[in-house]
Amino acid sequence: MKPPYEVSTTILKLTASISEKLGEVKANFLHKPSPQLRKYNKIKTIHSTLSIEGNTLTEEQITAILEDKIVIGSQKDINEVINANRVYDRIKKFNPESSKSFLEAHKVLMAGLINNPGRYRSKDVGIINGAKVAHVAPQPGNVPTLMNQLFNYLKKDQDISLIKSCVFHYELESIHPFEDGNGRMGRLWQTVILMKDYPVFEFIPFETLIKESQNDYYTALKQSDKEGKSTRFIEYMLTLIDNSLASAIEARSPNLTATDRINYFLEITDKEFSRKDYLTYYKTISTATASRDLKLGLELGRVIKKGTGNKTKYIKTTGPKMRYN
C-alpha cells in the first residue's frame, strides 16, 4: 500500500523552489567542502539530532569527544555521540532501499544503549506528551510487515525522492519500529534517501533547523497523525529542506559581510590561494571587494601574505575563527 498523503499547492511550490535551489547548488558548488567544513557540518548534525532526544552535550564537548579528548558528561550521552559519529562516517555506504542496511545503521547508532539494537521491537510502545498518550504505535507483530511495505514504497513508487524522504520519515515515526532511536533513525534515513539523488545533502545539516523548530516538528507529526496522512509533515520537512539550501547558497552571497565571506572561505580551503581563487568562489563580488576581504583577513590574523602584485598568495593561519550558528 502507498502511504496516504495529498500533493498540496504548498508541496508543489516547495518542490519547485527546492529544485531551483538544487540547480544553483549544482552550478556553483563545483567542489566538495574541505575536510574541516565536513567535520563541522557533521558535528552540527550530531549535536542537533541528539539534542532533540535530550542529549545535553554541547558542540564543543562533541568536538572534543571526536578528537579523543576527555569530556565530563554522562556515559550515555558520550556513547550516543560516539555511535552517531560512527553512523554518519558510514552514511554513504547505506542503501536507502534496503531494510538490512537500515537495521545495520540502527545497530551502530544504538549499540550499548538498548537491548537488541538493530532489531525491531517486541513490545507495545506509545509516545507520551506530558500526561497524555500522544500516539499509540502498531502492535509489534505488525512492525516487520509495515516496514517491508514502507521499503517497497521506496523501491517501487514513482514519487520523487524529495517527497519519498518525507513520507518515509513520517511513516517511520508512526510505526515506531524500535524500542528507542526512532527519531534519530527517521532524520538519518531521510538524509540517506536524499543523498541517493542529491549527494549535496551529505553536507547540509537540516537537522539543525529541526532542532531550532522542535515544537513545529512535533506539531507537524501530531497534525499528520490526526488527519491520517503525512501531508502536513511533508510540507514542514520540505520547508526545512528549502531553508537549508537557501542557507547554503547564502553562504556565498554578496549580502554577507566581509567577515562572513572570509571566514567561510577559509573553512573550505587548506592550501594557499590567490585573489583570483577567492573571486572564483565568490563569483558575484567585485575585484575591489575581494581585495578588501583579503585585507580584512590579514588584519584579523586569519591569513598571511606572500609575494607581490599578480604573484601574491595568501596562506591560512590558525587565527581566530568565526562561529556559524
pLDDT tens track for 115-145: 999 999 999 887 666 666 666 889 999 999 9
The C-alpha atoms of residue 67 and residue 78 are separated, in whole angstroms, by 13
Higher per-residue pLDDT: 167 or 202: 167
Higher per-residue pLDDT: 8 or 124: 8
pLDDT at 128: 65
pLDDT at 230: 96
**H or E segment at 128?**
strand 126-129
Q: Please compute the mean of the pLDDT values over residues 14-37 and round it to a whole number.
A: 74
CATH 2.40.50.140 is right for the domain spanning 258-316: no
pLDDT at 133: 63
User: Which residue type does 198 have?
Assistant: Y
Q: Please compute the mean of the pLDDT values over residues 279-305 and round it to a whole number.
A: 88
pLDDT at 35: 67
Mean pLDDT of the chain: 88
Q: What angle do CA 203, 209, 213 make, to 5 degrees?
A: 165
CATH 3.40.50.300 is right for the domain spanning 9-250: no
Query: CATH 1.10.3290.10 residue ranges in the chain?
Result: 9-250
Query: CATH 1.10.10.10 residue ranges in the chain?
Result: 258-316
Nearest to 292 by CA among 314, 322, 324, 259: 259
Nearest to 203 by CA among 55, 88, 67: 88
The C-alpha atoms of residue 321 and residue 87 are separated, in whole angstroms, by 28
Helix axes 75-89, 59-66, angle to 10 degrees: 70
Higher per-residue pLDDT: 69 or 200: 69
pTM for this one? Answer: 0.77
pLDDT at 53: 93
